[in-house]
């Protein structure tokens, strides 16, 4: 049984929770709206360096990347000697995201396999020349009045913008995603959250880290307060 998450107040008003920690790595909750790691602008604050400074871990490294608007579980390595092992742990881990999308899909479950190719600012579906991407989608709740749906996306490959591109291609873009969805700035965030991370640790033990539904999602889609994601 995992211990309760530890809440940490970072500089610049950011807050995070550490869900799992051992000698070699940790799993923490990145807020929406902050870069996960250092950008081209060295003066811009980022999640990894804020956590690095707070925990006083000079070699803290981002193993998996989340987009600026995406919140949720990030894997961070604590020493360079384990970089190769952590990359393999990430590759074998099972990663599931929560999302709110615009529209009501005609399906409850859908598996999408396609090829994605990197562009300058966005990723495109292509017939050839891209990398294979696979995601399994499950719709948990739909609100006809708001024309919104809430669901899970289990990624079987780790491509940039994978979930965002796929849902947009299906006609149900993620709420608040101005790159692949509506170009409005009305929403306060993009509603994509790295929710569950299941993995085998370096001792061979099966582990699963899971977050709550973010509180700001419950304010945006009121009926989410009644939904339990507990297995």
Q: Which pLDDT value is given to residue 121?
A: 85
pLDDT at 120 over 90: no
The alpha-helical segments, DSSP class H, found in 28-126 are 47-55, 83-92
Q: Which pLDDT value is given to residue 135?
A: 98
Q: What is the mean pLDDT of residues 62-79?
A: 95
Query: Mean pLDDT for the chain?
Result: 93
Distance CA 69, CA 88 (A): 26
Residues forming a β-bridge with 199: 207
Residue with tokens 């979930």: 163
Distance CA 71, CA 124 (A): 23
Q: Which pLDDT value is given to residue 1?
A: 45
pLDDT at 2 over 70: no
Q: Output the six-digit token pair for 198.
A: 């299941």
Q: Which pLDDT value is given to residue 202?
A: 93
Identify the CA nearest to 66 among candidates 186, 190, 180, 167: 190
Identify the CA nearest to 75 among candidates 58, 93, 57: 93
Please report which helix (H) or strand (E) contains residue 94, including its range. strand 94-102
Cα 222 to the center of its chain, rounded Å: 22
Burial of 4 (0-12, 13-18, 19+ CB in 10 A): exposed
Same fold across 1-92 and 94-196+214-223: yes
Q: Which pLDDT value is given to residue 154?
A: 98
Stated pTM of the model: 0.94
- Residue 224 pLDDT level (bands cut at 50, 70, 90): confident
Catalytic positions are 67
pLDDT at 222 over 70: yes
Structural domain spans, the chain: 1-92, 94-196+214-223
Q: Which residues contact 119 (CB under 8 A, 6 or more apart)?
A: none
Q: Does domain 94-196+214-223 have CATH number 3.40.50.300?
A: no
pLDDT in tens, 152-166: 999 999 899 999 999
Q: Output the six-digit token pair for 99.
A: 């999302």
Q: Which pLDDT value is given to residue 101?
A: 97
- Residue 185 pLDDT level (bands cut at 50, 70, 90): confident
Q: What is the CATH number of domain 1-92?
A: 3.30.2350.10
Identify the CA nearest to 22 among candidates 83, 76, 89, 58: 76
Residues forming a β-bridge with 151: 99, 139
Distance CA 86, CA 82 (A): 6
């Amino acid at each position: 049984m995992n211990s309760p998450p530890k809440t940490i107040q970072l500089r610049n008003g950011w807050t995070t929770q550490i869900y799992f920690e051992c000698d070699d790595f940790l799993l923490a909750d990145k807020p929406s709206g902050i870069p996960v790691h250092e950008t081209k602008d060295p003066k811009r604050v980022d999640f990894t360096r804020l956590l690095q400074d707070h925990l006083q871990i000079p070699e803290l490294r981002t193993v998996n990347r989340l987009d600026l608007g995406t919140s949720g579980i990030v894997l961070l390595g604590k020493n360079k000697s384990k970089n190769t092992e952590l990359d393999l742990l990430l590759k074998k881990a099972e990663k599931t995201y929560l999302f709110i999308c615009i529209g009501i899909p005609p399906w409850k479950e859908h598996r999408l396999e396609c090829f994605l190719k990197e562009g300058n600012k966005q990723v495109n579906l292509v017939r050839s020349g891209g990398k294979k991407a696979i995601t399994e989608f499950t719709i948990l709740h739909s609100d006809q009045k708001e024309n919104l749906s809430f669901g899970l996306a289990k990624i079987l490959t780790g491509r940039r913008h994978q979930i965002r591109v796929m849902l947009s291609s299906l006609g149900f873009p993620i709420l608040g995603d101005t790159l692949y969805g509506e170009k409005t700035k009305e929403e306060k965030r993009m509603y994509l959250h790295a929710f569950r991370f299941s993995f085998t640790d370096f001792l061979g033990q099966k582990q699963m880290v899971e977050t709550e539904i973010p509180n700001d999602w419950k304010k945006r889609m009121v009926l989410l307060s009644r939904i339990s994601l507990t297995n």
